[in-house]
Amino acid sequence: MLKKYLILFFVLFVFNFSNAQQGIKLSAYAEVSVLTYGPGYALYEKFGHTAIRVQDPVLQLDLIYNYGFFDLTESNFYVNFTKGYMKYKLVRYSFPPSLRGYNEDQRWAKEQILNLTNKQKNSFFSYLENNALPSNASYFYDPFFNNCSTKPADIIKNVLGDNVIFKDDFVIENSSIRQLMNNEIHTNTWGSLGINIALGSKLDKIATSKEYLYLPDYVFKSLACSKVIKNGKEEDLVITTKNLLNYPEKKLKSDAISPFIIFFILFLIGLIITIKDFKNNSRSKWLDFLIFFTTGIFGILIIFLWFFTNHSTAPNNFNILWAFAPNIIISFLINRKNPPRWISKYILLLLILLVLIPIIWIFRIQLFPIELLSFFILLLIRYTYLLKFTKNFE
């Protein structure tokens, strides 16, 4: 594995920092193609990948243009990433060595050769070379609206203009952006849970055919059915499709210690303790502290992402109905010797917010992680008990 990345970084060093191929004209034998790679096992690999290839046997060029790279050593990278200012860059390097990593990871790779005139190929090449210049290579990444997969369609439109016709035949059902995302990651994983908690209702709008293109699979399908106008006639945009690496699709798997198991165990523990408290007319303060403190922390994180970052899909996040930021203050107040009298009214508010969740869920205003269902039920049971118990504070 280490060898694979050393080779990749060497290739990047050689080709990305070389002088751009300015002024070079591709021959009539050149080809411009879009590469689609299958998913890997790491979370950031689950969605697959898209890149662009330019090859010319006459000029002995075989280059790949990859918009999916970021520099961890960049100043304030992690701070900027958290704030939503994710700076990615286009890197250009030799194509043949780039397949080694995908081959080792047994990820499939397909190539779609575009139906372009020689003039269009050169326009494509010039566009990419200009983009690869150090002054132009960086861009602000958005995982849903401006990523390595959305770039090829944007460039094709830029180069071909009105001569390209993007068809939407590949869209066979009305899916939201979130549903498309969840189809790529097993729902019963911590990665999926974290993403679905962090991102708001903007993901739950029905995706347009263009918005499908943040996923490499749909870029492939879109190009396969799209057309280009040549000599006044519509022709297929893709003239040839090749299987470069023919591996089976990676199967989606849940995590061994999955969110569903953990939250169901927490539900059982909380239910047993609440039943015991009811019988003894008592209250397990440590449990209430953990519930209020934890949901408060998540609420603060959601508010931070919503109001203090540039993440385009973080606002309007209805997870705030259960991850309620003021809970972090209540976690301390409710366990005081003499809690405030208004605590019962506050808990009534929390119950009302919880009741709103199934309404929002049913009407698909926002979909919530199904793994949290048992946790929602626990909150409902515990808050109902606390409402009765805290009335004694009044």
pLDDT in tens, 209-253: 999 999 999 999 999 999 999 988 999 999 999 999 999 999 999
**Torsion on CA atoms 214, 215, 221, 227, rounded to nearest 10:** 20
pLDDT in tens, 149-186: 999 999 999 999 999 999 999 999 999 999 999 999 99
- Using DSSP's 3-state secondary structure scheme, residue 349 falls into helix
**How many Å separate Cα 242 from the centre of its chain?**
27
**Phi and psi for 51 in degrees, rounded to 5?**
-150, 175
Residues of the chain with pLDDT under 70: 1-22, 78, 392-394
**pTM given for the model:** 0.89
CA–CA dist 174, 168 (Å, integer): 12
- Beta bridge partners, 65, equal 52, 92
Domain boundaries, the chain: 2-171+209-245, 259-393
CA–CA dist 301, 295 (Å, integer): 10
Q: Which amino acid is at 323?
A: A
**Measuring CA to CA, how many Å separate 303 from each of 38, 83, 144, 223?**
35, 12, 20, 39
**Measuring CA to CA, how many Å separate 146 from each of 63, 154, 193, 231?**
22, 10, 23, 32
